């Protein structure tokens, strides 16, 4: 570990921008990850990480933001998945598979025709957080505020629909409409992570924080806040470790999130052993 390099990094403007981006992306993705967990959507997140790739590529080639390109394509794909899923002869997993087929290949083929394709491909897939700009921070803050606002406004409905979809529909709520909202929130959250950790590593931030938070609480509200905190902590620690060891930031952030999960799982397992031991002793 090179501590002088880490200390020097805090004096660099680009590193401070990256640090703010890491906190915001980690917090937003962590909060959204709770609903990914509740609705068992990890496969959807993985699929969308591939499906949004062409949008990110086209956005870059057209000179617009990566978020704009990825969001347009991602939202279109999410709506198409929801539409196919509404057909009784096609289940949700099959619908995701149908839409996913070819999307990633399209992005790779389009990108391969451009100069410097290998370098650009790496940046899109695993992110380049140290190159984020003030405009990226504004986008992340604005989009993150909207996503958190939606989760707050529909909190009761989202929780009820996740735990009791049959009862949710019986009460007169539009089950398919709520599902579309969840898919759109997850998709937009994934795309906003792209500048920081890329399309592939965004999967970690949208799944792991909630899994780690579940070891500490079973209540959705506290779990959401804890997952947001763990996501932000993953961003900060991962970015600092990447600077200290001179390694890729996106991969380090994702690996740090995994490390926090393993710590949480270890502590949870230890507490359960202690509880069982005390129960046997009594």
Task: Give residue for tokens 């992110």.
Answer: 127
Give the per-residue pLDDT at 174.
75
Whether 229 has a pLDDT exceeding 90, the answer reads: yes
> Quick one: DSSP state of residue 131?
G
Q: Would you say residue 116 has pLDDT above 60?
A: no
Q: Are 37 and 147 in contact (CB under 8 A)?
A: no
Taking the complete model, does pTM exceed 0.75, yes or no?
Answer: yes
CATH number of 3-281: 1.10.3470.10
Q: What is the pLDDT of residue 34?
A: 95
Residue written as token pair 């096609």: 90
Q: pLDDT tens for residues 126-159? A: 777 888 889 889 999 999 999 999 999 999 888 8
H or E element that contains 24: helix 13-38
Q: Is the pLDDT of residue 89 over 60?
A: no
Tokens read off for 118:
């290998």
Examine the pLDDT at 240 and tell me if it is beyond 80. Answer: yes
* Distances 20 to 25, 27, 236 between C-alpha atoms, Å: 9, 11, 9
How far is 73 from 7, CA to CA, in rounded Å?
A: 40
How confident is the model at residue 95, as a pLDDT? 60
Label residues 26-53 b or e (16+ Cβ within 10 Å = b). bbbbbbbbbbbbbbebbebbbbbbbbbb
Per-residue pLDDT reduced to its tens digit, 120-130: 556 667 777 88
Would you kindly state where each structural domain of the chain is located, as residue ranges? Answer: 3-281
pLDDT at residue 238 greater than cutoff 60:
yes
């Amino acid at each position: 570990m090179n501590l002088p390099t880490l200390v020097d990094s805090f004096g660099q403007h680009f590193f401070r921008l990256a640090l703010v981006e890491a906190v915001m992306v980690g917090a937003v993705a962590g909060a959204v990850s709770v609903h990914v967990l509740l609705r068992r959507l990890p496969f959807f997140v993985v699929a969308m990480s591939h499906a949004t790739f062409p949008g990110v590529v086209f956005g870059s080639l057209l000179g617009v933001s990566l978020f704009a390109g990825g969001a347009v394509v991602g939202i279109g794909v999410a709506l198409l998945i929801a539409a196919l899923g509404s057909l009784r002869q096609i289940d949700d997993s099959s619908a995701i598979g149908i839409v996913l087929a070819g999307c990633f290949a399209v992005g790779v083929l389009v990108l391969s025709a451009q100069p410097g394709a290998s370098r650009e491909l790496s940046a899109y897939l695993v992110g380049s957080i140290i190159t984020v700009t003030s405009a990226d921070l504004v986008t992340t803050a604005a989009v993150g505020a909207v996503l958190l606002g939606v989760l707050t406004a529909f909190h009761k409905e989202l929780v009820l629909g996740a735990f009791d979809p049959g009862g949710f529909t019986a009460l007169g709520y539009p089950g398919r409409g709520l599902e579309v909202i969840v898919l759109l929130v997850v998709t937009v959250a994934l795309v906003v992570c792209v500048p920081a950790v890329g399309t592939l590593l965004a999967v970690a931030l949208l799944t792991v924080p909630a899994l780690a938070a579940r070891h500490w609480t079973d209540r959705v509200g506290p779990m959401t806040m804890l997952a947001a905190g763990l996501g932000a902590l993953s961003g900060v620690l991962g970015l600092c470790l990447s600077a200290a060891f001179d390694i890729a930031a996106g991969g380090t952030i994702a690996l740090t999130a995994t490390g926090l999960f393993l710590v949480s799982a270890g502590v949870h397992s230890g507490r359960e052993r202690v509880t069982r031991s005390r129960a046997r002793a009594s």
